[in-house]
Amino acid sequence: MHGRLREQLEALCRGVALLGGAALVATMLVVVGSVSSAQFGFPILGDTEIVDLSTGILVFCFLPYCYLHSGNVIVDFFTRPLPRRVNDALDALMHLAFAVVAAVLTWRLIAGGISAYQREQRSMFLALPEWHVYLLGSVVALLWVVVVVFVAWESALRASGRLAAPTDDSTHFG
């Protein structure tokens, strides 16, 4: 069950990261197009709005994949000498603590989206509705929370001896 669930999360996170990559490329094209066309006296109206809104989406798109692959900073000066199982138990606790942080961020993102929808918030020049960005960001942030909890579960399984430790040190959090 664990392996299959990881594969499914991996595929979903990879797809979301690819979506973020596509949004990043589109954002770069808008910037390049705006700067280039401004040289000829035809700047793209609302280019900063497009960049702001797409950046709001694409940043969240990379978080689940990054977290699933332990792309976070590791500070293990004090815990490195401890046995692997102790480190795994500490990792599980840190992942759970981080899950709380990610859940609070997600909750506030959802609340912001509801507020933007109710107030019919729009961008200044293009009048693009802003709640769409919150909606996409919230969905991806929910995936991020699921990934953080999943990684905590993996660490707890390793700490209890029910899951073999990986051959590299890529899952060590703390």
Tens of pLDDT, residues 123-140 = 988 999 999 999 999 999
Q: Can you tell me the mean pLDDT for 47-69?
A: 92
Whole-model pTM? 0.88
For residue 71, pLDDT beyond 90 = no
What is the secondary structure of 43-82 as a DSSP string? PPTTHHHHHHHHHHHHHHHHHHHHHHTT-S----TTTTTS
Q: Which of 98, 110, 112 is nearest to 145 (CA)?
A: 98
For residue 111, pLDDT beyond 90 = yes
Length of the chain in residues, anyone?
Answer: 174
State residue 43's pLDDT score: 86
State residue 167's pLDDT score: 63
Residue 120, Ramachandran bin (φ over 0: left; ψ between -120 and 50: alpha; else beta): left
Q: Can you tell me the mean pLDDT for 26-34?
A: 94
Residues contacting 9, CB < 8 A, separation 6+: 64, 68, 146, 147, 150
For residue 73, pLDDT beyond 80 = no
Reported as a single tens digit per residue, the pLDDT across 156-174 is 999 998 888 776 555 444 4
The tally of CA atoms less than 13 A away on the side-chain side of residue 47 is: 17
Residue 102: pLDDT band (50, 70, 90) is very high
State residue 164's pLDDT score: 83
Mean pLDDT taken over the chain = 91
For the chain, give the percent of residues with pLDDT over 90. Answer: 74
State residue 174's pLDDT score: 41
